[in-house]
Every structure is written in C-alpha cells, then in structure tokens.
Amino acid sequence: MRPVPQMSPEIEEYRDVRWRREGTRQVETAFEAERFIEQIGFAACLTDSRRPGPSLYMAVCGRRDAVKPRNVQTDHEVSLTWQLKDDLVRRGKVYYAKLGRGKTLFLAPRMIPYWHAIWGMRRADETRRLSRPAQAVLRVLRREWEMSAADLRDEAGVKNRQMFTRALDELQAAMIVAPSEVFYQPKFTYVWTLGVGRFPEALRRRVSRAIALREIARCFLSGAGMTMRGELARVTGLSRPEAGLGNRALVAEGYAVMLETGVYRLDAGELQSFDRPATAAMM
C-alpha cells in the first residue's frame, strides 16, 4: 500500500489564511460571510474539521480543529453559522442550495456558470430527466415564481412529504430551484424560488464541460494550495475521473504541478507569491 502524502505546515498555514481558520479573522456578519464566499469561490455550510474543504462554520469558529459539539442546539458557533446561512439566503448575493451528489454549498456568483455546466439541466431535457413530482413542483413555481414549502406542496398536488422533499432535491441539484427565505414562526418553512430569478446572467451563460472542470479545480486549488487524493471529488461532488481531468488541465497550463497520482500542488511561483500578512490584510 502506498503511503498517504502528508500535508506540509506551509500548506496548512496557507489554508488557515484562505479558509479563515484563524481566531483573528473569524466571520461574524453576513457581509463578512459574503466576502469570504466570494473570495474562496465556494464553501460548505456546517461541515467541520472532519471533512475537507472550506466551510462557513470553520470560518465562524476561526480554527482548523473545530468540531461540532454533540448538542448543537446550545452551541453559539453553530447557532451563529445557522443564522448567517439564513441571512445569506434572504440577501440573495450568493447561491445556496443542495447541489450535485447532495452537497449543500454556497457558490460565489462567478462560480455559478461552472457548477451549472456540470449539474445544470436544459429546459428541453426536463420532461425526460425530472420525476413527475419534480415537474409538478416546477410548473407551479414557473407560474407563481415564489412560494412557501407547504403551499407549494399543496398547489403541486404532491401529498407525500418524502416525495415532495425528493422533488425539491432534484430541482436543487439541477440548479433550477433554490431557497429564497426562511421563516421560523408560526412554523419552520423555506420559501422556494427559481434560481434564474436571482442569478439570470450566471445561469444562462454557456460554458463547456472541460472549462467548467478546470475552473472548479482552479477554485479549490487556489484556496487549498494542495489537493490530496480524492479531495476535490469529496468536496465538490465531482467524480474522481472528472476531478482528475480538471486538475490535469491546470498542470497543462502551468498553474499546478502533479506530485504523484491524484496529488496536485499550486505551482511554486503561485505559492511563493503567497504573502501571509498581505493576504490577511487583503481579506
């Protein structure tokens, strides 16, 4: 069995700065959260140090070893992350949804075309690829534009709650529908809308699959400094072969170097240009 490559202290420090895993640069407001997502390109919401990739929760904690407590209801950092998530959904300046392979992510607007090129769905393919409940939900939203979950389920005629949830998951994964608001009183519910209503230009921009794979790989590597085996696939939901295609495209243009199969690092020039104090001040 081949030894697992180890992350160098320099790469960990690089990630600390880029992913805001530092106590002096914690995310505390919706504005800071939006800046973080725009700078890093994409991030998970509530993942902790046990999962790879940038995370809003980790940026709120401001430390690389953050682990969610068992009792999350009374934890301040989890509560703040959840509150910021709700604020970002309302503000609508970053994309938030349960995307391909069940990955719930925030996307900066500049990254939406690349995700859509991989997981999006053309309108001509909806009848063939979407389930009947998903098509029923979509018909209602295209007529009403925005609707709470309970009203949407009634209007679509999808009486089974689990079937309705699966339909919404399908539509989110295809980047057709996304939440636009969340309410907790009189009961918890999301309001759902069409993604194209918030990000029309980004979702209508055509990008080839090859370019999308390369730019998703670039986005992750620019924040991570180094990609370990399978890491890009686990973070984004890409298949391993597709993640490899994206990383190898970066090698071909000189942006990255391949250390061994599945392990890629920013080109030495890119890493040397990383100046910790300057980068911290910039962010």
Together in a domain, 186 and 135: yes
User: Among residues 54, 58, 15, 12, which one has the least CA distance to residue 37?
Assistant: 54
Together in a domain, 233 and 148: no
DSSP string, 214-255: HHHHHHHHHHHSEE-TTHHHHHH---HHHHHHHHHHHHHTTS
Report the chain's C-alpha Rg in angstroms.
20
In a domain, 1, yes or no: no
Query: d(Cα 40, Cα 240) in Å, to the nearest integer?
Result: 22
Together in a domain, 275 and 196: no
pLDDT for 73 = 83
Helix (H, G, I), strand (E, B) or coil at 44: strand
CATH of the domain at 196: 1.10.10.10
Together in a domain, 185 and 243: no
Together in a domain, 18 and 98: yes
Lowest mean pLDDT among 110-124, 128-142, 146-160, 256-270: 256-270
pLDDT for 268 = 78
Q: Is the Cβ–Cβ distance between 19 and 59 less than 8 Å?
A: yes
Query: Which residue type, as a one-letter code, is found at position 93?
Result: K
- Which of 187, 204, 221 delimits the end of a domain? 204
Residue with tokens 């890493």: 271
Together in a domain, 170 and 57: no
Together in a domain, 93 and 24: yes
In this structure, what token pair is assigned to residue 39?
Answer: 């700078």
Q: Is the pLDDT of residue 279 over 60?
A: no
Distances (CA, A) of 185 to 92, 175, 190, 266: 21, 28, 11, 48
In a domain, 116, yes or no: no
pLDDT (mean) for 29-51:
97
Which helix (DSSP H) or strand (DSSP E) does residue 29 occupy? Answer: none
pLDDT for 71 = 87
Together in a domain, 136 and 272: no
Tens of pLDDT, residue by residue over 159-206, are 999 999 999 999 999 999 999 999 999 999 999 999 999 999 999 999
Together in a domain, 22 and 80: yes
pLDDT (mean) for 251-270:
92
Share of the chain above pLDDT 90, in %: 89
In our burial notation (b when 16+ CB lie closer than 10 A, e otherwise), range 63-79 reads beebebeeeeeeeebbe
Q: How many domains does the chain have?
A: 2
In a domain, 2, yes or no: no
In a domain, 3, yes or no: no
Together in a domain, 213 and 103: yes
Together in a domain, 100 and 214: yes
Query: d(Cα 44, Cα 84) in Å, to the nearest integer?
Result: 13
pLDDT for 278 = 43
Q: Which structural domain range is residue 45 located in?
A: 9-110+208-282
Tens of pLDDT, residue by residue over 231-243, are 999 999 999 999 9
